[in-house]
Amino acid sequence: MTESNPPAVTVLGLGDMGTALAEALLAAGHPTTVWNRTTARADRLVTKGAARAGSVAEGIAASRLVVTCLLDHRSVHDVLGHHADSLRGRVLVNLTSTSPDDATELATWAACHGVDYLDGGIMAVPPMIGTPDAFVLYSGSRAAFDTYHDTLAAFGACHYLGADPGMAALQDFALLSGMYGMFAGMLHAFALAGTEGIEAATFAPLLKRWLSTMIGFADTAAEQIDNGDYGRGVVSNLAMQATGYDEFLTLAEARGISPELLAPLGPLMRQRVADGHGAEDLTGVIELLKTKSNGSDTARTGSDA
Ligand SMILES: NC(=O)c1ccc[n+]([C@@H]2O[C@H](COP(=O)([O-])OP(=O)(O)OC[C@H]3O[C@@H](n4cnc5c(N)ncnc54)[C@H](OP(=O)(O)O)[C@@H]3O)[C@@H](O)[C@H]2O)c1
């Protein structure tokens, strides 16, 4: 089919995120067709210039590039399941959060039906879409990514992570895991400060300053992990950190704050110290995270207690 310039795009799924994606496409001047199971959710976009598709089939027919942003993997199959033939020869960019295996399954399904498939992981919340803070991870068809890079850039910076369709989902989940670890630490910190009546708004600037400074540890840790040398460039040895860690968990309990968000790291630190790695960095704890089930020979030998 002949492409308009800028290319036409169909967005299937107009929840908070799908709506933000469609708005970004409209703002960038793309002819945008939208469909949602609950049709009223398209109303606001239509007033902004989107074309309403009366059905999934009508939406697919409107554009060579079809973007899905639905709740989960199952809903993608629910929506596209009966439309494989209509999708043939088109490009499907799935921005629904899925697992790597689900992304691979969908890519295989798409390939079987002659659909060029690109999987995506959105690293933004809806208000960030179209701003410099947003970025999106992509993996799967390189041709699809190259063809539609400028279109996809309406959502945020584009990072292509390779032909393996599961790669975007894997790194998306890894990034979110890092975020939740940080959020867990934040909640513990607010709770502990709160035991002295310190308001969260008073404490937040110090917390932000400290976490912003410490984020540089990612580079140190990466160098240690990639070189398999947890003693490289150590400035705060693990034995010292493990001692301090126990003390602030004890303080939390004494102040009536459950240490449950942070407690799991303590035994891992202690085990590394007991195994003779006290002079190394905290990073070596990563060795204890490897279990037999992920194919590593390095199994946990110590107690979790
Ligand atoms: N919001 C965020 O901060 C954020 C950030 C990054 C990634 N994401 C990902 O983006 C995706 C969409 O998130 P969202 O925030 O837009 O969620 P949402 O507001 O809950 O919207 C969910 C969408 O999925 C549709 N849906 C659910 N089940 C369906 C089914 N069986 N058949 C057809 N449509 C179905 C809903 O349609 P109805 O309106 O008819 O219910 C709605 O359009 C998710 O995979 C999410 O993980 C979200």
pLDDT of 301 reads 40
Residue 170 Cβ contacting ligand 1 at under 6 Å: no
Tell me the CA–centroid distance for residue 264 and ligand 1, in Å. 32
Closest atom, ligand 1, to C-alpha of 14: 43
264 preceded by a cis bond (ω within 30 of 0): no
Q: Is 176 in the pocket of ligand 1 (CB under 6 A)?
A: no
Q: At 120, give phi and psi (nearest 5°).
A: -140, 150
User: Residue 292: what pLDDT?
Assistant: 52
Give the model's pLDDT for residue 2: 75
- Which residues of the chain register pLDDT less than 70? 292-305
Number of the ligand 1 atom closest to the C-alpha atom of 13: 43
Cβ of 77 less than 6 Å from ligand 1: no
**Does residue 207 line the site of ligand 1, with CB under 6 A?**
no
Q: What confidence tens digit (pLDDT) does each residue in 228-283 have?
A: 999 999 999 999 999 999 998 999 999 999 999 999 999 999 999 999 999 999 99
Q: In what order do the strands lie in the sheet with 135-140?
A: 51-52, 32-35, 9-12, 65-68, 91-94, 116-123, 135-140, 157-160
User: Is residue 43 helix, strand or coil?
Assistant: helix
What distance in angstroms lies between residue 118's CA and the mean position of ligand 1's atoms? 18
CA of 13 to the centre of ligand 1 (A): 7
Mutation to probe ligand 1, out of 17, 131, 183 (largest number of atoms < 8 A from CB): 17
CA distances from 137 to 51, 145, 173 (A): 27, 11, 11
The answer to whether the CB of 99 is under 6 A from ligand 1 is: no
Domains of the chain in sequence order: 9-163 (3.40.50.720), 171-294 (1.10.1040.10)
Does ligand 1 have an atom closer than 6 angstroms to the CB of 45? no
- What's the CA-to-centroid distance between 237 and ligand 1, angstroms? 45
Residue 248: predicted pLDDT: 86
Residue count (the chain): 305
